[in-house]
């Protein structure tokens, strides 16, 4: 049986710099940054005191009193982005519930509520034994990451497969790849897919401080995220969500849906090497890229743009540069590459989906978003990393890659449908 094709017909974004697709794209296309001094908690004394925060009011964004009062910020982001995606796709909610699925990625789940409740119940950590009778009645929901997928399923009236994908910083890519697989194998006709994370909290910041992964450039938050720059010194923590309506292509066409792009291929690998380390040769990421290209039935020279992982750490930048050369050959030198983490930070599991949204919009607008703050290119990163200013370019095939602690490597190829129709 020929695998069915999966297309994106709706998208929604909650990101630093503004809620909604319009604000998100305006930020990226202008090359502005949304990184700033942390305001969600008192970061005094932390090594890294900068982040890319979302200015978000759940009630103003249409959530109910229950959702605003009981749900962790991560679930609120997911619901807001899902509602945007459903409206954008003009999806008839509830029309075929058993053929509608949910696939949500998250790296750290409901961290904020769990931490806040522990701090409250333990009297700021002074009590080893806590009084369970004082716990919020919805605390169990925060313990279970499946809460996020369940809330999205209720919103979409989805009664098909429902899953949370948690593979660290590749969760947002892997959740969308899972959606495409559900479509391909005919387990669903429509999937609400994407990812959400809200990790800007003391415990998350402390974890990254401990391994010196985040930047200490606290005196210049707007320019703290510097992928591929010689002066980079760690990533900037972010938050947000992006959700998509993913549909089987013929069904989408029958209902007259507007199609952003096709999820043409994906590949996933692990390096089984080190919890946080990466081999400089980039072999695992290169293999994930090759698998994605093979599934998409595309030669390497068909790729028009690469949205890089581009976290802002030297080992990642070297690893990625090697992977692009290894997988694309000489075409790597002719392909524009950029990292939007320079503008919206690194939102852990959510960032892969946020980057996929950027790719879909880049294809729609024929514009490559830039890498902000790339003032002094690292000579070891000698590819075209599109500094400062967006670049006009027709984009028919785009590659998005992600890399996560634990050795996770994922690549997804998006194409316009005409490219695949012609094959």
pLDDT of residue 30: 97
Instruction: Classify residue 45 as exposed, middle or buried by CB count within 10 Å of its CB (0-12, 13-18, 19+).
Output: exposed
Does 169 participate in catalysis according to the annotation? yes
Q: What is the pLDDT of residue 140?
A: 83
State the catalytic residue, choosing from 80, 110, 162, 169. Answer: 169
Average the pLDDT over 196-208 and give the result.
96
Active site residue 110: no
Round the CA-based radius of gyration of the chain to a whole number and report it.
20
pLDDT at position 237? 97
Q: Which of 137-151, 241-255, 364-378, 386-400 has the lowest mean pLDDT?
A: 137-151
- For residues 284-289, average pLDDT: 96
Task: Decide if 80 is catalytic.
Answer: no
Of residues 293 and 420, more confidence is placed in: 293
103: nearest Cα among 179, 181, 5:
179
The domains found in the chain, sorted by start residue, are 6-254 (3.40.47.10), 264-421 (3.40.47.10)
Task: Indicate the pTM of the whole model.
Answer: 0.96
Strand 190-197 versus strand 240-248 pairing type: antiparallel
Mean pLDDT of all residues belonging to the chain:
95
pLDDT at 143: 86
Looking at the predicted structure, is the pLDDT value of residue 423 above 60? no
State yes or no: pLDDT of 21 exceeds 90. yes
DSSP E strand stretches across 56-182: 100-105, 162-165
Catalytic residue among 110, 346, 359, 381: 346
Per-residue pLDDT tens over the stretch 115-126: 898 889 888 888
Residue 219: partners with Cβ closer than 8 Å, 6 or more residues away: none
Strands of 36-37's sheet in order across:
36-37, 50-52, 237-238
**In the predicted model, is pLDDT for residue 225 greater than 70?**
yes
Half-sphere exposure of residue 21: CA atoms within 13 angstroms, side-chain side: 24
Q: Which of 80, 162, 178, 309 is catalytic?
A: 309
């Amino acid at each position: 049986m020929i695998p069915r094709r999966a297309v994106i017909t709706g998208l929604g974004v909650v990101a630093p710099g503004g809620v909604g697709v319009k604000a998100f794209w305006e930020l990226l296309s202008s090359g502005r940054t949304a990184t700033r001094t942390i305001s969600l908690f008192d970061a005094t004394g932390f090594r890294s005191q900068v982040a890319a925060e979302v200015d978000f009011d759940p009630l103003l964004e249409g959530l109910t009193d229950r959702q605003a009062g009981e749900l962790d910020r991560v679930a609120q982001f997911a619901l807001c982005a899902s509602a945007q995606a459903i409206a954008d796709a003009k999806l008839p909610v509830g029309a075929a519930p058993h053929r509608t699925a949910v696939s949500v990625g998250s790296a750290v789940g409901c961290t904020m509520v769990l931490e806040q409740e522990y701090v409250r119940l333990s009297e700021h950590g002074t009590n080893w034994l806590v009084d369970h009778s004082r716990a919020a009645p919805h605390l169990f929901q925060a313990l279970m990451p499946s809460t996020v997928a369940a809330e999205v399923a209720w919103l979409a009236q989805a009664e098909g497969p429902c899953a949370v994908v948690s593979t660290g910083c590749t969760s947002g890519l892997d959740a969308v790849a899972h959606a495409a697989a559900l479509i391909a194998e005919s387990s669903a006709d429509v999937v609400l897919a994407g990812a959400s994370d809200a990790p800007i909290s003391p415990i998350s910041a402390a974890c990254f401080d401990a391994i010196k992964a985040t930047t200490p450039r606290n005196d210049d938050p707007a320019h703290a995220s510097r992928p591929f720059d010689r002066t980079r010194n760690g990533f900037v923590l972010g938050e947000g969500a992006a959700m998509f309506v993913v549909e089987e292509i013929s069904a989408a066409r029958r209902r007259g849906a507007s199609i952003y792009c096709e999820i043409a291929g994906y590949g996933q690998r692990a390096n089984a090497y080190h919890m946080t380390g990466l081999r400089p040769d980039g072999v695992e990421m290169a293999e994930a890229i090759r698998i994605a290209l093979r599934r998409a039935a595309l030669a390497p020279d068909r790729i028009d743009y690469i949205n890089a992982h581009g976290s802002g750490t030297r080992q990642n930048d070297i690893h990625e540069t090697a992977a692009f050369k290894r997988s694309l050959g000489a075409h790597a030198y002719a392909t524009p590459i950029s990292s939007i983490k320079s503008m919206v930070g690194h939102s852990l599991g959510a960032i892969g989906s946020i980057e996929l949204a950027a790719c879909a919009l880049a294809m729609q607008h024929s514009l490559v978003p830039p890498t902000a703050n790339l003032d002094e290119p690292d000579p070891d990163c000698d590819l075209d990393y599109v500094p400062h200013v967006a670049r006009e370019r027709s984009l028919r095939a785009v590659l998005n890659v992600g890399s996560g602690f634990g050795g996770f490597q994922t690549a997804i190829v998006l194409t316009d449908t005409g490219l695949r129709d012609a094959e």
